[in-house]
Structure 1
Amino acid sequence: MPSNPPPPDYELADRLALTTADQVRAISNPLRTTLLGLLHERAATVTELAATLGRPKSTVAHHVTVLTRAGLLRVVRTRRVRAIEERFYGRTARLFYLPAGADGGQDGLPPDFNDFDVAAQESATAFRERRLWGFIRHARLSEEQAGEFWERMAALVGEFDALPRSGDTVYGFAVGIYPTDQPHLPDVAD
């Protein structure tokens, strides 16, 4: 089985912090999230994206424009097809993230922006079919430890993103760290 080169087929930054409400709103739409996912594999034209999704070209073009204006997509190359210049779009970063302190109550960010909600919806069928692998753990950590762990998780996401594309099944990968109100035992007295 031939292996593909690590995705995608264009240069992009490793990470981009979503610092504006427009960026978060742009990435919050399920169709736009799907477009960003497809562009992890390689750059594509609006025509290719529309055909892959079975959606009208005008609808896909609108969503590509929203993502481009928000700075999440860019034209990575062009080619001449007859008298028309065809544009190939690519992501501006491998990983988009909300910086610490960004939440729905500040800066106009949408309160319903939640990757885990998306993951829960996407994984329901896999759960029913017993094809869902996952863990949840709780640990008491300092802010510094949590930040260091987030960096390690981001590296793991980068590794997942760089895997050569093969097979017929698209797998989701959700990872996160978040504060909870889980109870904890008191420290042991010396």
Structure 2
Amino acid sequence: MSSNDPTPDYDLDDTIELTTAEQVRAIGDPLRTTILSLLHERAATVSEIATAVKRPKSTIAHHVNVLVRSGLLRVVRTRRVRAIDERYYGRTARMFYVGLGRQVDGVTLPPDFNDFEMAARESAAAYGAGQLRGFLRHARIPEERAAEFWQRIDEVVEEFDRLPRSGDEVYGFAVGLYPMLDYPTLPERDEPSPPGSRRRGVRKQQ
């Protein structure tokens, strides 16, 4: 794939909300999330996926069928090979998500899988080799500022998804934003600002 080719090489929606328990269970399996991740690069056949993940074709065919039934994968094109139509599968969207508090027929859907748990497992080897790049920060901010900040992060994630695939190394990119339920905070300031101090970036009136 050249640097000018689109990623992936088929049309798909930007986002799809998962609205059934079947969909959430489908995306919560580690092997199926790996299949979905591979198809961010390009459409692929069951044989190609099986080769990539080093699993039997029958196993991959089963998981692909689960994803197709759940509306997460679809056949994007076919190719005739020795009188057989070879199917190429692609994602139905770049991003799948479960709405907070989502209910169907009065039943709350199970939570989406925890990306951080998967990232912790995946990053262990890189951490041991001194190749893990990561930051953890905490800030007391209003909810609306958190939403604004996450919108910017979402744009970076989309940019990462669209990067042309090349090179020999696969990189994981994990981001998150979550409320801290029991984290210490300083009380509101009850003393005057130090003499001569002023907000940085605010010009003093002449």
Q: Does 1:186 align with 2:187?
A: yes
Residue 79 of structure 1 aligns to a residue whose secondary structure is strand
**Does the Cα contact within 8 Å between 2:101 and 2:108 map onto a contact in 1?**
no
Superposed CA RMSD: 2.1
Matched, 1:67 2:102: no
Higher deviation after alignment, 5-14 or 143-152: 143-152
Q: Percent identity?
A: 64
Unaligned runs of 5+ in 1: none
> How many residue pairs end up in the alignment?
187
Question: Any conservation in 2 of the 1:6–1:165 contact (CA below 8 Å)?
Answer: no
Question: What's the TM-score once normalised by structure 1's chain length?
Answer: 0.90
Unaligned runs of 5+ in 2: 193-206
CA distance in 1, matches of 2:102, 2:178: 13
Q: How many angstroms apart in 2 are the aligned matches of 1:151 and 1:99? A: 16
Change (3 A) 1:68 1:168: same
Determine helix, strand or coil for the equivalent of 1:130: coil
Structure 1: which amino acid aligns with 2:130?
R
Q: CA deviation at 1:54?
A: 1.5
Q: Which runs of 4+ in 1 moved over 6 A?
A: none
Task: Give, in angstroms, the shift of residue 32 of structure 1.
Answer: 0.3
Aligned to 1:145: 145
Equivalent residue for 1:85? 85
Q: What is the CA distance between 1:102 and its match in structure 2?
A: 5.0
Q: In the TM superposition, what are the counterparts of 1:34-183 in structure 2 within 5 Å?
A: 34-101=34-101, 107-110=108-111, 113-180=113-180, 181-183=182-184
TM-score (norm: length of structure 2): 0.84
